[in-house]
Protein backbone atom coordinates (compact mmCIF):
# COMPACT_ATOMS: atom_id res chain seq x y z
CA UNK A 1 0.00 0.00 0.00
CA UNK A 2 1.15 3.50 -0.77
CA UNK A 3 0.84 6.37 1.70
CA UNK A 4 1.15 10.02 0.89
CA UNK A 5 0.22 13.43 2.23
CA UNK A 6 -0.04 16.80 0.63
CA UNK A 7 1.68 19.58 2.54
CA UNK A 8 2.19 23.27 1.73
CA UNK A 9 5.89 23.97 1.14
CA UNK A 10 7.46 27.40 1.16
CA UNK A 11 9.44 28.32 -1.93
CA UNK A 12 13.08 29.14 -1.03
CA UNK A 13 13.04 31.93 -3.64
CA UNK A 14 9.71 33.81 -3.40
CA UNK A 15 8.52 32.34 -0.04
CA UNK A 16 5.00 31.64 -1.36
CA UNK A 17 3.49 28.29 -0.45
CA UNK A 18 2.57 25.55 -2.94
CA UNK A 19 1.14 22.10 -2.08
CA UNK A 20 3.66 19.28 -2.45
CA UNK A 21 2.97 15.53 -2.31
CA UNK A 22 5.20 13.67 0.12
CA UNK A 23 5.14 9.88 0.04
CA UNK A 24 5.69 8.07 3.31
CA UNK A 25 5.48 4.80 1.47
CA UNK A 26 5.57 4.01 -2.25
CA UNK A 27 4.24 0.72 -3.55
CA UNK A 28 4.76 0.30 -7.30
CA UNK A 29 1.96 -2.26 -7.50
CA UNK A 30 -0.69 0.20 -6.29
CA UNK A 31 1.07 3.25 -7.84
CA UNK A 32 2.75 1.99 -11.04
CA UNK A 33 3.40 5.55 -12.28
CA UNK A 34 5.74 6.08 -9.32
CA UNK A 35 8.20 3.60 -10.77
CA UNK A 36 9.29 6.12 -13.40
CA UNK A 37 8.70 9.16 -11.16
CA UNK A 38 11.31 8.00 -8.64
CA UNK A 39 13.81 6.99 -11.34
CA UNK A 40 13.70 10.38 -13.03
CA UNK A 41 13.40 12.04 -9.57
CA UNK A 42 10.29 14.02 -10.59
CA UNK A 43 8.63 12.59 -7.45
CA UNK A 44 11.03 14.67 -5.33
CA UNK A 45 10.95 17.86 -7.37
CA UNK A 46 9.03 20.72 -5.79
CA UNK A 47 7.74 23.16 -8.37
CA UNK A 48 6.73 26.59 -7.06
CA UNK A 49 3.45 27.63 -8.69
CA UNK A 50 4.26 31.33 -8.13
CA UNK A 51 7.79 31.87 -9.47
CA UNK A 52 8.43 28.49 -11.12
CA UNK A 53 11.54 27.69 -9.10
CA UNK A 54 12.26 23.96 -8.86
CA UNK A 55 13.81 22.47 -5.72
CA UNK A 56 14.77 18.87 -4.95
CA UNK A 57 13.18 17.80 -1.66
CA UNK A 58 14.79 15.15 0.53
CA UNK A 59 12.41 13.33 2.83
CA UNK A 60 12.11 9.88 4.38
CA UNK A 61 10.14 7.19 2.55
CA UNK A 62 9.92 3.48 2.06
CA UNK A 63 10.06 2.20 -1.53
CA UNK A 64 8.42 -1.14 -2.18
CA UNK A 65 8.61 -2.91 -5.56
CA UNK A 66 6.72 -6.16 -4.89
CA UNK A 67 7.15 -7.60 -8.41
CA UNK A 68 10.91 -7.75 -7.82
CA UNK A 69 10.95 -8.45 -4.07
CA UNK A 70 12.67 -5.16 -3.45
CA UNK A 71 12.37 -2.89 -0.43
CA UNK A 72 14.47 0.26 -0.08
CA UNK A 73 14.29 2.69 2.80
CA UNK A 74 15.38 6.18 1.85
CA UNK A 75 16.49 8.11 4.94
CA UNK A 76 16.99 11.83 4.64
CA UNK A 77 18.18 12.05 8.26
CA UNK A 78 20.23 9.96 10.73
CA UNK A 79 17.29 9.47 13.07
CA UNK A 80 15.21 7.78 10.38
CA UNK A 81 18.14 5.61 9.29
CA UNK A 82 18.86 4.51 12.88
CA UNK A 83 15.18 3.76 13.41
CA UNK A 84 15.03 1.58 10.30
CA UNK A 85 18.23 -0.30 11.21
CA UNK A 86 17.06 -0.94 14.76
CA UNK A 87 13.70 -2.18 13.44
CA UNK A 88 15.58 -4.67 11.27
CA UNK A 89 17.90 -5.71 14.10
CA UNK A 90 15.09 -6.16 16.60
CA UNK A 91 13.25 -8.44 14.18
CA UNK A 92 10.32 -6.12 13.37
CA UNK A 93 7.54 -8.44 12.24
CA UNK A 94 6.68 -6.76 8.92
CA UNK A 95 10.31 -6.46 7.86
CA UNK A 96 10.97 -10.00 9.04
CA UNK A 97 8.14 -11.26 6.82
CA UNK A 98 9.60 -9.50 3.80
CA UNK A 99 12.97 -10.99 4.59
CA UNK A 100 11.43 -14.48 4.85
CA UNK A 101 9.90 -13.99 1.40
CA UNK A 102 13.36 -13.40 -0.05
CA UNK A 103 13.17 -9.63 -0.30
CA UNK A 104 16.32 -7.63 -0.90
CA UNK A 105 16.22 -4.92 1.78
CA UNK A 106 18.40 -1.84 1.51
CA UNK A 107 18.89 1.50 3.21
CA UNK A 108 20.14 4.50 1.24
CA UNK A 109 21.03 7.99 2.42
CA UNK A 110 21.06 10.07 -0.76
CA UNK A 111 18.64 10.34 -3.68
CA UNK A 112 21.50 9.70 -6.11
CA UNK A 113 22.34 6.45 -4.36
CA UNK A 114 18.68 5.53 -4.16
CA UNK A 115 18.20 5.94 -7.92
CA UNK A 116 21.50 4.15 -8.52
CA UNK A 117 20.29 1.13 -6.53
CA UNK A 118 17.16 0.97 -8.69
CA UNK A 119 19.25 1.09 -11.89
CA UNK A 120 21.53 -1.68 -10.62
CA UNK A 121 18.61 -3.96 -9.76
CA UNK A 122 16.78 -3.01 -13.00
CA UNK A 123 19.83 -4.34 -14.85
CA UNK A 124 19.72 -7.59 -12.89
CA UNK A 125 23.09 -6.85 -11.27
CA UNK A 126 24.34 -7.39 -7.73
CA UNK A 127 24.70 -4.04 -5.93
CA UNK A 128 27.53 -5.44 -3.77
CA UNK A 129 29.65 -6.32 -6.80
CA UNK A 130 28.89 -2.92 -8.34
CA UNK A 131 30.11 -1.20 -5.15
CA UNK A 132 33.35 -3.23 -5.32
CA UNK A 133 33.61 -2.41 -9.02
CA UNK A 134 33.25 1.29 -8.22
CA UNK A 135 36.05 1.09 -5.64
CA UNK A 136 38.36 -0.25 -8.38
CA UNK A 137 37.32 2.61 -10.68
CA UNK A 138 37.91 5.14 -7.88
CA UNK A 139 41.36 3.69 -7.09
CA UNK A 140 42.28 4.04 -10.75
CA UNK A 141 41.00 7.61 -10.78
CA UNK A 142 43.08 8.57 -7.72
CA UNK A 143 46.13 6.95 -9.30
CA UNK A 144 45.69 9.12 -12.39
CA UNK A 145 44.78 12.25 -10.41
CA UNK A 146 46.99 12.08 -7.31
CA UNK A 147 46.76 15.83 -6.71
CA UNK A 148 42.99 16.03 -6.50
CA UNK A 149 41.47 17.49 -3.34
CA UNK A 150 37.90 17.13 -4.56
CA UNK A 151 35.38 14.84 -2.88
CA UNK A 152 35.14 12.05 -5.46
CA UNK A 153 32.18 9.72 -5.77
CA UNK A 154 31.30 7.06 -8.34
CA UNK A 155 27.84 6.12 -9.57
CA UNK A 156 26.59 3.29 -11.70
CA UNK A 157 24.67 4.62 -14.66
CA UNK A 158 22.69 3.02 -17.46
CA UNK A 159 21.23 5.04 -20.31
CA UNK A 160 18.06 4.34 -22.29
CA UNK A 161 19.97 2.31 -24.89
CA UNK A 162 21.39 0.11 -22.15
CA UNK A 163 24.90 1.56 -22.27
CA UNK A 164 26.36 1.06 -18.81
CA UNK A 165 28.92 3.39 -17.32
CA UNK A 166 30.47 4.44 -14.04
CA UNK A 167 30.14 8.17 -13.60
CA UNK A 168 32.80 9.95 -11.59
CA UNK A 169 31.49 12.96 -9.69
CA UNK A 170 33.89 15.49 -8.14
CA UNK A 171 32.52 17.89 -5.51
CA UNK A 172 29.01 17.09 -6.70
CA UNK A 173 29.81 17.90 -10.36
CA UNK A 174 30.00 15.40 -13.19
CA UNK A 175 33.65 14.76 -13.98
CA UNK A 176 33.89 11.85 -16.44
CA UNK A 177 32.58 8.39 -17.32
CA UNK A 178 34.21 5.00 -17.53
CA UNK A 179 32.53 2.36 -19.68
CA UNK A 180 31.24 -0.57 -17.64
CA UNK A 181 33.17 -3.72 -18.49
CA UNK A 182 31.04 -6.89 -18.11
CA UNK A 183 34.16 -9.07 -18.06
CA UNK A 184 35.56 -7.26 -15.04
CA UNK A 185 32.17 -7.60 -13.38
CA UNK A 186 32.22 -11.36 -13.99
CA UNK A 187 35.77 -11.56 -12.63
CA UNK A 188 34.53 -9.88 -9.45
CA UNK A 189 31.62 -12.30 -9.36
CA UNK A 190 34.11 -15.18 -9.46
CA UNK A 191 36.50 -13.66 -6.91
CA UNK A 192 34.05 -12.20 -4.41
CA UNK A 193 30.70 -13.79 -5.24
CA UNK A 194 31.51 -17.07 -3.50
CA UNK A 195 32.33 -15.21 -0.26
CA UNK A 196 29.06 -13.27 -0.22
CA UNK A 197 25.80 -14.47 1.28
CA UNK A 198 22.65 -14.58 -0.89
CA UNK A 199 21.65 -11.13 -2.09
CA UNK A 200 18.61 -11.04 0.21
CA UNK A 201 20.68 -12.13 3.21
CA UNK A 202 23.10 -9.28 2.76
CA UNK A 203 23.19 -6.41 5.22
CA UNK A 204 20.96 -3.40 4.37
CA UNK A 205 23.74 -0.81 3.96
CA UNK A 206 25.70 -1.61 0.82
CA UNK A 207 27.81 1.40 -0.03
CA UNK A 208 31.36 2.51 -0.75
CA UNK A 209 32.51 1.91 2.85
CA UNK A 210 31.12 -1.58 2.75
CA UNK A 211 32.94 -2.23 -0.53
CA UNK A 212 36.28 -0.89 0.75
CA UNK A 213 36.06 -3.26 3.73
CA UNK A 214 35.15 -6.14 1.44
CA UNK A 215 37.96 -5.37 -0.94
CA UNK A 216 40.48 -5.26 1.88
CA UNK A 217 39.20 -8.55 3.29
CA UNK A 218 39.30 -10.23 -0.13
CA UNK A 219 42.86 -9.17 -0.98
- The yes or no reply on residue 125 touching Zn ion (CB under 5 A) is no
DSSP 69: T
- The yes or no reply on residue 150 touching Zn ion (CB under 5 A) is no
Options 4, 53, 85, 99; binder of Zn ion; rule CB under 5 A: 53
| Cβ partners under 8 Å of residue 126, min gap 6 | 120, 189, 193, 196, 199
Cα–Cα distance, 94 to 199 (Å, whole number): 19
Cα–Cα distance, 185 to 204 (Å, whole number): 21
- The yes or no reply on residue 13 touching Zn ion (CB under 5 A) is yes
- The yes or no reply on residue 39 touching Zn ion (CB under 5 A) is no
- The yes or no reply on residue 176 touching Zn ion (CB under 5 A) is no
Window of 50-58, 115-123, 143-151, 158-166 that interacts with Zn ion by CB under 5 A: 50-58
User: Which residues does residue 107 pair with via DSSP β-bridges, in sequence order?
Assistant: 73
Distances (CA, A) of 155 to 41, 110, 117, 133, 172: 16, 12, 10, 10, 11
Window of 42-50, 114-122, 157-165, 167-175 that interacts with Zn ion by CB under 5 A: 42-50
Q: Which residue, 46 or 156, has its beta carbon nearer to Zn ion?
A: 46
Q: How many CB atoms lie under 10 A from the CB of residue 166?
A: 21
- The yes or no reply on residue 17 touching Zn ion (CB under 5 A) is no
- The yes or no reply on residue 24 touching Zn ion (CB under 5 A) is no
- The yes or no reply on residue 50 touching Zn ion (CB under 5 A) is yes
Identify the sign of the CA torsion 151, 202, 197, 189: negative
- The yes or no reply on residue 105 touching Zn ion (CB under 5 A) is no
Q: Which residue, 48 or 104, has its beta carbon nearer to Zn ion?
A: 48
Amino acid sequence: MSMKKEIPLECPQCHKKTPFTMWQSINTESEPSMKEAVRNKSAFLFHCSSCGRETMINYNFLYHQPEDNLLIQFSADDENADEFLSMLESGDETLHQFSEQGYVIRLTRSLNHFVEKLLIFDEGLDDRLIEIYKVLVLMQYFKQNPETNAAIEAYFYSDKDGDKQIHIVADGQYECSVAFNPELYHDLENNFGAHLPALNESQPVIDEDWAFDMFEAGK
